[in-house]
Amino acid sequence: MKSATKIPGYLEAVLFGSGSIIIGLIWDICWHRTIGRDSFWSPPHMAIYVGGLVAGLASAAVVLRTTFRGGGDRAQDDVTVLGFRGPLGAFFCCWGAGAMLTSAPFDDWWHNAYGLDVTILSPPHMVLALGIMVIQVGAMVTAVAHQNRAEAAGEAQPATRTALRASYVISAGLLFTSGAVFIYEKTIRVMMHHSSFYQAAALVFPFLLVAAASASRLRWPATWTALVYTGILLGQLWLLPMFPAEPRLGPVRHAVDHFVPLQFPLLVLVPAIGLDLVLRRANGRRAWGVAAVAGGVFLALLLATQWPFANFLMSPASRNALFATHEFPYFVGADSYFMRRLIPDASRMALLGGLTVALGVAVVSSRLGLLFGGWMSRVQR
């Protein structure tokens, strides 16, 4: 059987590495929210960097094997970079792993020099974030190249075709989850009635959902991508509080005796369904017209679902194990909006102006998603 009819081992390794990175990334943030700054060799850090190493080494092995042994009957499917030959996605993963490993000593020095991070996206974390997202793009490119090549040649068996399509949408969901984590501070529940929440969401989510949907062969690709994100966030929300932990760094403003998870996932499933319906009817239409409709649908559906849901998350009805709004990091004080369960509201004019900006951002983000997704839909290397 030809190689296009099976899942390549290095794609499985890259997906494993990408998943390990996401688990470690979320775990690390929750570690900081529960325990505080710890050793560089903490378990979450190891999960992140082991994931990067697995993805990078597996991809490097493919590149070196292809360079020095040749690509056989698939040599035309390889690309050349600095004299090395291999699949395009493998080069993405090698670069991303290199960026991640470069960020490691920088991050350790930063903490030793300045202590805790003020934000998730500190300078060393930005280098780390870039490496992570490049690895995840590499996973998407690897999966979609095998999908496109196998289906164009009519070589894939139904089970393999399904596995390749699932591999692509899983890799897209992992990338989407990374994007959601990196803008987490802009999308916390106390910001859900502020235009900056919708601007941040419009900047990242339409691009990732539209790109994923544009290159997938599944019927509901944006929806599946959002489901991967939702499943991961629900998993950490319900599992992490089962494990005991306590702060090791002061000041401790709030008693904690177990891991504090991230918040309930954003309700992106509804906008994702809307985007799938829009893109299904987009054939032959002008790209900017499709982007305008997609951006408008995304923002309207997110606003219609997340705004009232924010009120629920601030109500007593959400203070349970299902929604976990009673969980607070140890450093949150009694005077915070979280503890007081208040959502700061902006003036109507400021909100209207900010939402207008968010709509423009969503349209441009959707257009860029169409460009990136269109490119991926043609990748066969």
Domain end (from 182, 197, 217)? 182
Domain containing 232 equals: 188-381
What is the domain-level CATH number for residue 273? 1.20.1450
The residue written with tokens 């042994």 in the block is 69
CA-CA distance, 350 to 23, in Å (whole number)?
A: 37
One domain for residues 177 and 193: no
In order of 27, 110, 315, 326, 340, the CA distances from 323 in angstroms are 18, 34, 11, 8, 17
Same domain? For 63 and 39 the reply is: yes
User: How many structural domains is the chain composed of?
Assistant: 2
Query: How far is it, in rounded angstroms, from Cα 103 to Cα 212?
Result: 28
Per-residue pLDDT of the chain (381 residues; tens, 9 = 90+): 344 446 778 888 999 999 999 999 999 889 988 887 766 778 888 999 999 999 999 989 988 888 887 655 555 567 777 778 888 888 889 888 888 888 777 766 666 666 555 455 567 777 888 888 899 998 888 888 888 776 666 655 677 778 888 889 999 999 999 999 999 989 999 899 999 999 999 999 999 999 999 988 888 999 999 999 999 999 999 999 999 988 887 788 888 889 999 999 999 999 999 999 999 888 778 899 999 999 999 999 999 999 999 999 999 999 999 999 988 888 877 777 777 777 777 777 888 999 999 999 999 999 999 999 988 888 766
Based on the domain organization, do 192 and 173 belong to the same domain?
A: no
Q: Are residues 196 and 103 in the same domain?
A: no
Per-residue tokens: 235: 């998993």
